Structures are given as C-alpha cells and as structure tokens.
C-alpha cells in the first residue's frame, strides 16, 4: 500500500471516511482550508446508505473503514459522515485509542450555538442521525459552555440523499420535499438550521430561498474543516496537497457524481476488494 506524506506539521496523511460520495462535500472545505494536506478518502459505496441502518451495523462498518484507512499511515481521521459521527465515535475511540478521530457533530453544534440569536436551532439529517439525539446533546453541551439557552428541533429528511445524488437539488421535486420537511421547523420559528448530513450542502440555495435571510444555515462539514484548520494550521494552510479516493463499489459512478460534490475535478477513484469484509463468517447477532 502506498504511503502518503503530509506537508503539514502533523505526521501522516488525513484519512477521511464516509458512507459513500457525500463526504466529498466535507473534503471540499478541507482542500480549501488545508490545501497542503494529503488526504486519503474512503467511501463505502457498496453499503451506502448508512442513515437507514441500525447503530450496531453502522459501528461495524465504521470500524472496518477506519481499519482500512490505517494502512495509509494516516495521522488523523475525519469522520465526514454525520450518521457515523452520531453513533460510532465512542466505539471508534475505544478501538483505535492512538489515532485522533473527529466527527462532524460537535463542530456543527458549536457553530450553531455561536450563530443563533434567539436560541432556536433546527437540525436536519438522516433517520439514524436524528434518532440518535447526538446533535441535541452536542448543542446542549455547547450552549452550557457558552452560557446560553437553546431549544433544538429536529427533522429527518431521508429523501434528500437520493435527490442530491441525482443532481436534482434545484428541481421542483426538491423544493416540494424541502417545503414538506421544513414546515414543522418553520412553525417552531428556528433562527438557525444545521445541515446535519453530507448530502445537504447542495440544497443550500433552495434552503435559503424557502427559509429566508433570517435563518442562518450551518454546514457541519465546513465547521469541522474550520476547526481542523485552526488546530493544524502550519504548512498545511498552503502548498499543494493531494486527494486519493478509494471506494468499495463502482468507482466510475463515484467519479461522475463526486465531481459535483467536491466542486472540482476528481481524479481516478480506486476500487477496494471486498473480500476483506467476510460478513458470512459472522455469528448471527441479537440486534433487531
Ligand atoms: N453520509 C450520510 C450522512 O452524512 C448520508 C448518506 C447515508 O445515509 O449514508 O449522514
């Protein structure tokens, strides 16, 4: 396996992991804010979506993905996927105690607490992310640290992921779905909305149109990249880094859709053989 050298002060490349293509919306900001960093990305395109799966399944997939990334001498891993960040951070920290691993929930929550004026924060995400309650907990913790009061209102938006992948984020169908999903949050008079899913930044323009200028939009991926850029800084802030992508299925599809999410040309994505994931050798679990 090739080794990727980083030009930042920190040893090793930055590993980025997502359930599929969506994490490229996070890489977009990482590349902008840490252009000197070497990034190794893994998208689990064979098993996406994670947002509809059980917590224990997502944890197992996350374990396998981070194990895969450790082959590349990564000095740190960013979990770009909100669903994984919502349910698997503790199990990942236990499994990889020597590797700094950060998710997108806390940075998104902190940015929202900084942005809100009335303390009424909405969160949209996958079913898994919303059911986990992770954003509520992170927002309440950030609000406590900041000494402010907040109320959190959440809404799962499962149909937005396929709409974004199909490039339909500005379509009439997307606007109808957004109105449907946002209506309960608008009734709660939110003044800040966290885009708690890798696939939601493409809807930013439509969201702003529906919600109006009074509601601030927080992109958790961007907040994560900003926090990392502050923490790493140094040489990684300039220079020419690299992006190498691995996927578990159909690299061509990843390349075609990924270009839109990344906002620039995407090099060749490499296919990871799946014979290292022997699900059929696992004992039947008790989870329902
Ligand atoms: N990457 C996922 C997230 O941010 C969205 C796609 C999926 O459901 O796997 O939650």
- Determine the atom of ligand 1 nearest the C-alpha atom of 52: 8
Residue identifier of the C-alpha nearest atom 1 of ligand 1: 81
Number of compact structural domains in the chain: 2
Q: What is the pTM of this model?
A: 0.92
Alpha carbons 21 and 35: distance in angstroms, whole number:
20
Q: Do 10 and 98 belong together in one domain?
A: yes
Residue identifier of the C-alpha nearest atom 7 of ligand 1: 49
Q: Do 61 and 191 belong together in one domain?
A: no
Q: Which of 113, 156, 115, 110 is nearest to 132 (CA)?
A: 156
Q: Do 58 and 130 belong together in one domain?
A: no
Q: Do 119 and 41 belong together in one domain?
A: no
- Determine the atom of ligand 1 nearest the C-alpha atom of 23: 1
CATH number for the domain spanning 234: value is 3.40.50.1860
Q: Do 117 and 97 belong together in one domain?
A: no
Question: Pick from 220, 252, 277: which residue ends a domain?
Answer: 220
81 given a catalytic annotation: yes
Q: Do 212 and 240 belong together in one domain?
A: no
Q: Do 138 and 166 belong together in one domain?
A: yes
Q: Which of 197, 262, 269, 272 is catalytic?
A: 197
Pocket of ligand 1 (CB under 6 A): 18-20, 22, 48-51, 81-83, 126, 129, 161, 197-199
Pocket test for ligand 1, best of 22, 65, 261 (most atoms within 8 A of CB): 22
Q: Do 210 and 117 belong together in one domain?
A: yes
- Determine the atom of ligand 1 nearest the C-alpha atom of 51: 8
Question: Pick from 168, 192, 220: which residue ends a domain?
Answer: 220
Q: Which domain holds residue 133?
A: 105-220
Q: Which residues of 63-79 are buried (b: 16+ CB within 10 A; e: fewer)?
A: bbbbebbeebbbbbbbb
Q: Do 237 and 171 belong together in one domain?
A: no
Q: Which residues pair with 125 in a beta bridge?
A: 156, 196
Q: Do 88 and 117 belong together in one domain?
A: no
Q: Which of 48, 81, 207, 217 is catalytic?
A: 81
Contact residues for 126 (Cβ-Cβ < 8 A; gap 6+)? 49, 50, 51, 52, 82, 83, 156, 157, 158, 161, 197
Residue identifier of the C-alpha nearest atom 2 of ligand 1: 81
Alpha carbons 12 and 38: distance in angstroms, whole number:
8
Q: Do 248 and 164 belong together in one domain?
A: no
Please report which helix (H) or strand (E) contains residue 154, including its range.
strand 151-156
Could you list the pLDDT tens digit for every one of the 288 residues in the chain? 333 444 444 668 999 999 999 999 999 999 999 999 999 999 999 999 999 999 999 999 999 999 999 999 899 999 999 999 999 999 999 999 999 999 999 999 999 999 999 999 999 999 999 999 999 999 999 999 999 999 999 999 999 999 999 999 999 999 999 999 999 999 999 999 999 999 999 999 999 999 999 999 999 999 999 999 999 876 677 778 999 999 999 999 999 999 999 999 898 999 997 765 555 665 655 554
Residue 254 Cα to ligand 1 midpoint, Å, equals 15
Q: Do 230 and 100 belong together in one domain?
A: yes
Question: Pick from 186, 205, 220: which residue ends a domain?
Answer: 220
Pocket test for ligand 1, best of 197, 219, 222 (most atoms within 8 A of CB): 197
């Amino acid at each position: 396996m090739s080794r990727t050298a980083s030009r930042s002060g920190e040893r090793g490349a930055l590993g980025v992991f997502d359930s599929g293509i969506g994490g490229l919306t996070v890489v977009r900001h990482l590349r902008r804010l840490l252009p000197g960093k070497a990034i190794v990305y893994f998208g689990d395109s064979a098993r996406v979506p994670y947002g509809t799966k059980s917590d224990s399944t997502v944890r197992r997939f996350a374990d396998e993905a981070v194990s895969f990334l450790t082959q590349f001498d990564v000095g740190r891993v960013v979990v770009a996927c909100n669903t994984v960040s919502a349910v698997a951070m503790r199990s990942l920290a236990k499994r990889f105690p020597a590797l700094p691993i950060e998710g997108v929930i806390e940075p998104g929550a902190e940015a929202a607490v900084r942005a809100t004026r009335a303390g009424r924060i909405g969160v949209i995400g996958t079913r898994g992310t919303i059911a986990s309650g992770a954003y509520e907990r992170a927002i309440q913790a950030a609000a406590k640290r900041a000494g402010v009061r907040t109320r959190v209102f959440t809404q799962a938006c499962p149909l937005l992921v396929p709409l974004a992948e199909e490039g339909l984020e500005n379509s009439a169908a997307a606007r109808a779905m957004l109105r449907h999903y946002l209506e309960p949050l608008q009734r709660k008079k939110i003044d800040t909305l966290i885009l708690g899913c890798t696939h939601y930044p493409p809807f930013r323009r439509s969201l702003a149109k529906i919600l109006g200028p009074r509601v601030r939009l927080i992109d958790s991926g961007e907040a994560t990249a900003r926090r990392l850029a502050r923490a790493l800084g140094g040489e990684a802030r300039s220079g020419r880094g690299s992006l190498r992508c691995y996927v578990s299925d159909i690299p061509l599809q990843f390349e075609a859709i990924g270009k839109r999410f990344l906002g620039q040309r995407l090099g060749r994505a490499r296919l990871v053989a799946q014979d290292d994931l022997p699900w059929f050798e696992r004992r039947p679990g008790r989870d329902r």
